[in-house]
Chains A and B, each alone.
Chain A
Amino acid sequence: MIPSFLQLKKNSKKDKSGLPGYRMVLVGDCATQHIAQAVSGYAYEEGIGLELLDTDYDQIFAQVMDPDSELYQYQADAILIVMCTEKLYEAYCGAPVGDRDRFAAEKYEEICRIWKRLQEYSHPETGRKMKILQFNFAEADDRCFGNYANRVESSFLWQLRKLNTLLMQGAQSEEIYLVDISYVQNLLGRKQFHDEKLYYLAKMPFSTEALPAVAREVIGIVKAVMARIKKCVILDLDQTLWGGVIGDDGLEGIQIGELGIGHAFQEFQLWLKELTKRGIILAVCSKNDEEKAKEPFLKHPEMVLRLEDIAVFIANWEDKAGNIRKIIETLNLGIDSFVFLDDNPFERNLVRSMLPEITVPELPEDPALYLSYLKELNLFETISYSEADQDRTRQYREEAGRTSLKQQFATYTEYLEHLGMVAEAKPFDAFHIPRIAQLSQRSNQFNLRTVRYTEEEAARLAEDDRYITLYFTLRDKFGDHGLISIVVMKKEEDTLFIENWLMSCRVLKRTMEAFVVNIMLEEAKKADAVRVVGEYIKTPKNAMVEHLYEEMGFQPLGEGKYEIMTAAYQKHETWIERGE
């Protein structure tokens, strides 16, 4: 399932042109050549053209502290900092016994200094900071105290665990991502993870066998940084969410609950429920009569998932690929952000061949293994989390409600009028910064220039008076969409340049685009700007907005740029009221 190290090594010789590029520099306190090979090879496996500079052995400080070092000259997007438990232990042994209860704190400070320097010295001309991917420490104990080490603050075990906790507390700035090496070791077991002789002879902290699993974690984070994240899981029902067949076995006959085989399905549902709390949307696509299919969600006492956990529920006898297309249309999310889970190999292959962008895991035959298999795939890596995530399923359910209302009106305009939409437009403020940064990280389709912000960058823009920042919210009679669009305009003499405009696809075709343009022009008048200039930068995913500026009455200037004159501007008609 996971590629072997040899496969990854072979990948590093393959042609990377045509793949989206990413530049990374690697520093480490141990031998890193094999790690570099595995990481590059894994990137290729995931369709990323990684350019990786592997610096010399044990040169972290020399590289980081010298502003002219090759590390900074490489202009990397990210730095991978590899530190190993074995080196940590050597340092621990060198510390006087009396100082050891402060060992973790001191090591942590040292790592913080490295992070700080990296952020000061990287990309001074653009202000964009290099992402930092920091390895944490695989747990190992010297057993000098045995289990008693758990009671001794100066023991290596205590200090190592404390250091991992300090790293978690410290990696709160958005430029810093921890690579959970400790998890990898837990997954494989230390005997498989670490090959003693390779460390003694070659200073390699990981066995050859462990390298692909280590690389998978690194590339998982890189994918999330590149906004390649999963947002929705589409679920089959019979034999996937419960054991048995609801149509044949009936409500009492299906297996779900604490006893027997049903326990595996219950745990699986618990996990899916946890995913919804972290912002992943669930949908159902099942070959069943709809009423039958919904029965367990409504009536079975031991079902964990309930109908309100499912954003879109499709049960009929049509083919699954067609039904999945309907789900994608309703939710309006990028097709590559969907995962489809089905126990039936025929359905999986059908969906794979009809919709190749969707991730279709090869679920094991035994339901006991569903969970551990899916966890190992690490499909839900993310680089942000905010409270709004907990609410996402509800928002998408409301959306499905709107869709059915739409069908009751003769004209679309009538429907829009009936929605009673109210939008807010306000400059960035501290309260909304997390959601603003997150939206800029997640949006791929309705995104004119695909400029991404970290929270810090967004906060900086809000303070900078050369910029006009705006966030937009939208609500209607069905509910609140929350913050759905952001605009950043830069004042350039008598022009406002739209440096960033993106919008959540959930609110397409609501005249929200026109509302945003109206506000832009209002701001332009206030700022005494003669014109507003926008730009469209093409990516593989944003074809949706290729002609947006023209549709909004802008004149093309060539090379993807468009302008509109403030004086001549006629307000667009919208069905949205401006609220406070």
Chain B
Amino acid sequence: MSREEILKKVNDIFHDVFDDDSIVVVEETTADDVEDWDSLMHITLISEVESAFGFKFQMKDVVGMKNVGEMIDIIQSH
């Protein structure tokens, strides 16, 4: 899957998790850019990405990823 395809799929997950179809994420998007992206939502987001892409994040990924781009890096490595 290309980075663009992954980004698109991740964007759909954001719509679902935050229940807001107007969200547009780019590689540079961070938690500060998305309203409601708090630690609680982060957990839900992580779980949804895991089930959508069929792998499990490591603990360091969950606490370490700085933006959507880094999330895509991890997804791509699986």
Contacts and interface: CB of A to CB of B under 8 A. Distances in A.
Main secondary structure, interface of A, reads: helix
Contacts of B51: 209
Nearest to B13: A6
Interface stretch (A192-200, A212-220, A398-406): A192-200
A6 B16 contact: yes
Interface in A1-48: 5-6, 9-10, 13, 33-34
B39 A208 contact: no
B59 interface: yes
B58 interface: yes
B35 to A, nearest CB: 14
A33 B38 CA distance: 12
A369 interface: no
Contacts of B63: 201
Given A10-B19, A197-B59, A33 B48 contact: no
A478 B43 CA distance: 62
A33 B40 contact: yes
B67 to A, nearest CB: 19
Interface string A174-218: 000000000000000000000101101110100111000000000
Interface string B29-64: 000000000011001100110010000111100110
A200 B43 contact: no
Contacts of B16: 6
A33 B17 CA distance: 15
Contacts of B17: 6
Nearest to B39: A202
A426 B20 CA distance: 62
A110 B17 CA distance: 39
Interface residues of A, number: 17
B4 to A, nearest CB: 24
A421 B48 CA distance: 64
Contacts of B19: 9-10, 13
B13 to A, nearest CB: 9
Given A197-B57, A197-B62, A9 B44 contact: yes
Contacts of B48: 6, 208
- Counting chain A CB atoms within 10 Å of each CB, the highest count among B43, B57, B62 belongs to B43
A202 to B, nearest CB: 5
A209 B44 contact: no
A204 to B, nearest CB: 7
B44 A34 contact: yes
By size class, the interface of chain B is 10 to 19
B24 to A, nearest CB: 20
A34 B40 CA distance: 8
A201 to B, nearest CB: 6
A208 B59 contact: no
A458 to B, nearest CB: 44
Nearest to A10: B19
B62 A207 contact: no
A146 B6 CA distance: 43
B58 A209 contact: no
B44 A200 contact: no
B44 A201 contact: no
B43 A202 contact: yes
Contacts of B56: 197
Contacts of A204: 43
B43 A198 contact: yes
B58 A208 contact: no
A6 B51 CA distance: 12
A208 B47 contact: yes
A204 B19 CA distance: 22
A9 B18 CA distance: 10
Given A6-B16, A10-B19, A13-B19, A200 B47 contact: no
A208 B40 contact: no
A371 to B, nearest CB: 27
Interface in A140-167: none
Contacts of B40: 33-34
A201 B58 CA distance: 11
Contacts of A198: 43, 47
A416 to B, nearest CB: 61
A10 B51 CA distance: 18
A444 B43 CA distance: 42
B62 A201 contact: yes
B59 A200 contact: yes
A13 B56 CA distance: 29
16 contacts: A5-B47, A6-B48, A33-B40, A34-B44, A195-B47, A197-B57, A197-B59, A197-B62, A200-B59, A201-B43, A201-B63, A202-B39, A202-B43, A208-B43, A208-B44, A208-B48
Q: Which 5 A-B pairs have the closest CB atoms?
A: A208-B47, A197-B59, A202-B43, A10-B19, A33-B40
